[in-house]
Structure 1
Amino acid sequence: MPPHLEEAYRAMLARFVAIPSVGAEGRGQSEMAHALVLELEALGLDTHAHETEGAPVIFAERRVHGAPSVLFYNHYDVQPADPLDLWESDPFTLTERDGSLYGRGASDDKGQLVSRIIALRWLRERHGDLPFGVVFVVEGEEEIGSPNMVRYVEERREQLAADVGIWEFGGVDAHDRPLLTCGLKGIATVDLSLRTAAMDLHSANGPVVQNAAWRLASAVAGLRDEEGRVLIEGFYDRVRPPTDAERGYVEATPRDDDVFAEHVGVERFLGGATGAEYQRRLQLEPTLNVNGFHSGYGGPGMKTVLPATALAKLDFRLVPDQQPLEIVALLHEHLEREGFSDVVVNLAEEPERPARVDPDDPWLRHAADALEEAYGTPAVVIVSSGGSGPLHPFVEVLELPIAMIGVSYPGSRVHSPNEHVRLVDVHRGTYATVRLLERWAGLAPPD
Structure 2
Amino acid sequence: MEKLFQQIEEHASLYQHWLLSMCNQPSISAQNIGMQEMKELVIQLLEDLGADVEEVVTAGYPIIYGQIDNGSKRTLTFYNHYDVQPPDPLAEWMSDPFKARVENGQIFARGVADNKGNIAARIAAVHAYQKVHGDLPVNVKFIIEGEEEVGSPNLKKFALENPEKLKTDAMIWEGGMRNVHDKRPHISFGVKGICFVELRVRGAAFDLHSSEGAVVENPAWRLVWALSTLKNKHEKILIDGFYDHILELTEKEKAFFQTMDYDEEHTKTHYQIDNFLTGVTGLELKERLTAAPTCTICGLEAGDTGQGAKTVLPSRAKVKIDFRIVPGQTPKMVIDLLRKHLDQHGFRDIEIEQLAGLLPFNSDSENPFVDTVINSMKEVYEEPPIIMRNLAGSSPMEKLLANTEIPAAQIGVANTGSNFHGPNENIYVDDFIKGIKATANVMRHFGDV
Amino acid at match of 2:303: G
Residues 1:359 and 2:365 aligned together: yes
Amino acid at match of 1:315: D
- Give, in angstroms, the shift of residue 170 of structure 1: 0.9
Residues 1:205 and 2:205 aligned together: no
CA distance in 1, matches of 2:282, 2:330: 29
Residues 1:124 and 2:92 aligned together: no
CA 1:302–1:125: 2 relative to 1, 3 Å: farther
Instruction: Look up the match of 1:375.
Output: 381
- Give, in angstroms, the shift of residue 187 of structure 1: 1.3
**1:223 aligned to 227, 230, 241, which one?**
230
Does the 8 A contact of 1:181 with 1:385 survive in 2? yes
Q: Bigger shift: 417-426 or 247-256? A: 247-256
**1:142 aligned to 138, 148, 162, which one?**
148
Instruction: Look up the match of 1:74.
Output: 80
Amino acid at match of 2:108: Y
CA distance in 1, matches of 2:17, 2:312: 55
Instruction: Look up the match of 1:189.
Output: 196
- Give, in angstroms, the shift of residue 10 of structure 1: 3.4
**Secondary structure at the counterpart of residue 58 of structure 1:** strand
CA 1:204–1:417: 2 relative to 1, 3 Å: farther
**Secondary structure at the counterpart of residue 340 of structure 1:** coil
Residues 1:270 and 2:271 aligned together: no
Instruction: Look up the match of 1:244.
Output: 251
Amino acid at match of 1:289: T
Residues 1:300 and 2:339 aligned together: no
CA distance in 1, matches of 2:166, 2:401: 12
Instruction: Look up the match of 1:420.
Output: 426
Structure 1 runs of 4+ aligned residues shifted over 6 Å read: none
Q: Bigger shift: 125-134 or 382-391? A: 125-134
Does the 8 A contact of 1:189 with 1:315 survive in 2? yes
Alignment of 1:1-400 (within 5 A): 2=8, 5-173=11-179, 175-349=182-356, 351-392=357-398, 394-400=400-406
Instruction: Give the structure-1-normalised TM-score.
Output: 0.91
Instruction: Look up the match of 1:434.
Output: 440
Does the 8 A contact of 1:255 with 1:276 survive in 2? no
Amino acid at match of 2:266: V
Amino acid at match of 1:374: V
Unaligned residue ranges in structure 2 (runs of 5+): none
Amino acid at match of 1:183: G
**2:408 aligned to 396, 402, 424, which one?**
402
- Give, in angstroms, the shift of residue 63 of structure 1: 0.9
CA 1:305–1:243: 2 relative to 1, 3 Å: same
CA 1:236–1:39: 2 relative to 1, 3 Å: same
- Give, in angstroms, the shift of residue 407 of structure 1: 0.8
CA distance in 2, matches of 1:5, 1:219: 61
Question: In the TM superposition, what whole-angstrom CA distance separates every residue of 1:144-172 from its partner, at most 9, and x where no partner exists?
Answer: 33232223212211222111211111122
CA 1:334–1:124: 2 relative to 1, 3 Å: same
Amino acid at match of 2:233: E
CA distance in 2, matches of 1:8, 1:165: 26
**Secondary structure at the counterpart of residue 428 of structure 1:** helix
Unaligned residue ranges in structure 1 (runs of 5+): none
Does the 8 A contact of 1:357 with 1:395 survive in 2? no
Amino acid at match of 2:220: A
CA distance in 2, matches of 1:310, 1:20: 40
Instruction: Give the structure-2-normalised TM-score.
Output: 0.91
Count of aligned pairs = 442
Q: Bigger shift: 279-288 or 87-96? A: 87-96
Q: Bigger shift: 269-278 or 432-441? A: 432-441
Question: In the TM superposition, what whole-angstrom CA distance separates every residue of 1:91-128 from its partner, at most 9, and x where no partner exists?
Answer: 23322233221222111112222211112122222222
Q: Bigger shift: 360-369 or 6-15? A: 6-15
Q: Bigger shift: 425-434 or 190-199? A: 190-199
**Secondary structure at the counterpart of residue 114 of structure 2:** coil
CA distance in 2, matches of 1:203, 1:12: 63
Amino acid at match of 1:49: E
CA distance in 1, matches of 2:190, 2:407: 10
- Give, in angstroms, the shift of residue 372 of structure 1: 1.5
